[in-house]
């Protein structure tokens, strides 16, 4: 089968001819139709320090996918050949305290497909049946291919009650933009999204009804006063991984504000802790998606009018994967989807 693997410790991915994975008794084999390119895949493409320390050479990469089950293991009873599906790419253990309490997304033994284990950038993917998420017909293959990052957005956005709240999202990357759409969908009052990239802010406005602010050019405080917010934002969703953005968010929060942090700051970033204390701000770190509550809520919202389709800006047949990665690194794209069916 065709697959995209990390063969050499330098920039790039290589199209290889790999054996179709053999499924164990508790696994299914999925014929992959479409995959999304993630920021994580860009780290692996670039072979930065994180990738070099984490990813074994030879690994098939990728973790955002949609496909169809073509084989089920001997112990798999509730899934059948022909089922359209996506799936959770975090492979969890079942013995930790967290897993035994049903908090699967907090299992410390989690391993990621396309990062630690063979991934989804391939014509066929082996996945534990436990991780499979069957898809209803209303969810297109394109959206099916980006449920993993939409799940990051949903998990972060639903960390706190947003109904009637003023929400600040820092970072209009694909996940920040999708989080803005989720915040609108669930009934936030004002949703402001910041970035320093005008293309990304323009895309945010095409995907959903948000107030974009280019913080390289404008003061966030002016937006706060023009919206007649008395104190500041009730909820912050940090989705840039940028230190300046987090500082700006802490400053723009109201007393008792709540911040969910998905963005990964570089190294040990300094934070104005006294401001966090005196404003009595709650900060929650967010990792991945809740398994499987986020998937349930995300699919239900998509069935009930949540529309993030315009966040996909580029589509390529997989043979043009280099163009796909170039689009992702250009900074002008939203999500980029590769088609494996050709």
**How far apart are alpha carbons 159 and 182 in whole angstroms?**
12
**Nearest distance from residue 178's CB to Zn ion, in Å?**
12
Concatenated DSSP letters for 67-114? EEEEEE-TT--S--TT-EEEE--EE--SSSHHHHTT-GGG-TT-EEBT
- Residues 17-36 binding ligand NAD (CB under 6 A) are none
Point out which residues bind Zn ion (CB under 5 A): 38, 64, 148-149
> Binding partner of residue 148 among Zn ion, ligand NAD, none, CB under 5 to 8 Å per kind?
Zn ion
Residue whose structure tokens are 């990469």: 61
**Nearest distance from residue 33's CB to ligand NAD, in Å?**
22
271 binds ligand NAD (CB under 6 A): no
110 among known catalytic residues: no
**Nearest distance from residue 152's CB to Zn ion, in Å?**
7
For residue 136, whether the previous peptide bond is cis, meaning omega lies within 30 degrees of 0, is: no
Pattern 156-185, ligand NAD, x by CB under 6 A: --------------xxxxxxx---------
Q: Choosing from 35, 40, 208, 254, which is the catalytic residue?
A: 40
40 among known catalytic residues: yes
Concatenated DSSP letters for 227-275? TT-SS-EEEEEE-S--HHHHHHHHHHEEEEEEEEE-S--SSS----HHH
Residue among 197, 282, 309, 320 that touches ligand NAD (CB under 6 A): 197
57 binds ligand NAD (CB under 6 A): no
Residue among 64, 88, 165, 195 that touches ligand NAD (CB under 6 A): 195
Extract the tokens encoding 115.
């990062």
Extract the tokens encoding 328.
């992702």
How many residues contact ligand NAD, by CB under 6 A? 27
Separation of CA 320 from chain center: 23
Residue whose structure tokens are 């969908």: 185
Pairing of β 335-339 and β 312-317? parallel
Q: Choosing from 43, 54, 282, 329, which is the catalytic residue?
A: 43
Site residues, ligand NAD (CB under 6 A): 39, 152, 170-176, 194-197, 200, 215, 239-242, 244-245, 262-264, 286-288
Catalytic residues: 40, 43
């Amino acid at each position: 089968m065709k697959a995209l693997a990390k063969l050499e410790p330098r920039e790039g991915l290589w199209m290889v001819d790999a054996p179709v994975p053999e499924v164990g008794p508790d696994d299914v084999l999925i014929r992959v139709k479409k995959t999304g390119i993630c920021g994580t895949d860009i780290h692996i493409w670039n072979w930065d320090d994180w990738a070099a320390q984490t990813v074994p050479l030879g690994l098939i990469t990728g973790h955002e996918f949609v496909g169809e089950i073509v084989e089920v293991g001997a112990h798999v009873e509730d899934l059948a050949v022909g089922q359209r599906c996506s799936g959770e790419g975090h492979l969890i253990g079942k013995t930790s305290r967290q897993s035994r309490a049903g908090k699967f997304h907090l299992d410390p033994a989690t391993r990621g497909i396309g990062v630690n284990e063979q991934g989804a950038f391939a014509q066929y993917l082996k996945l534990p049946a436990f991780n499979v998420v069957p898809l209803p017909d209303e969810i297109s293959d394109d959206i099916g291919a980006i449920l993993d990052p939409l799940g990051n957005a949903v998990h972060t956005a639903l960390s706190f009650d947003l109904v009637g709240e003023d929400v600040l999202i820092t970072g209009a990357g694909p996940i920040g933009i999708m989080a803005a759409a989720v915040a609108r969908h669930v009934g936030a009052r004002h949703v402001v999204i910041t970035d320093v990239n005008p293309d990304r802010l323009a895309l945010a406005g095409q995907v959903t009804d948000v107030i974009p602010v280019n913080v390289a050019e404008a003061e966030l405080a002016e937006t706060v006063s023009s919206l007649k917010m008395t104190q500041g934002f009730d909820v912050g969703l940090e989705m840039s991984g940028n230190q300046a953005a987090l500082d700006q968010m802490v400053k723009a929060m109201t007393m008792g504000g709540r911040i969910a942090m998905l963005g990964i700051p570089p190294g040990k970033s300094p934070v104005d802790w006294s401001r966090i204390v005196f404003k009595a701000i709650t900060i929650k770190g967010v990792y991945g998606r809740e398994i499987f509550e986020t998937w349930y809520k995300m699919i239900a919202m998509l069935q009930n009018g949540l529309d993030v389709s315009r966040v996909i800006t580029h589509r390529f047949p997989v043979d043009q994967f280099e163009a796909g990665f170039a689009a992702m690194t250009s900074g002008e794209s939203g999500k980029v989807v590769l088609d494996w069916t050709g």
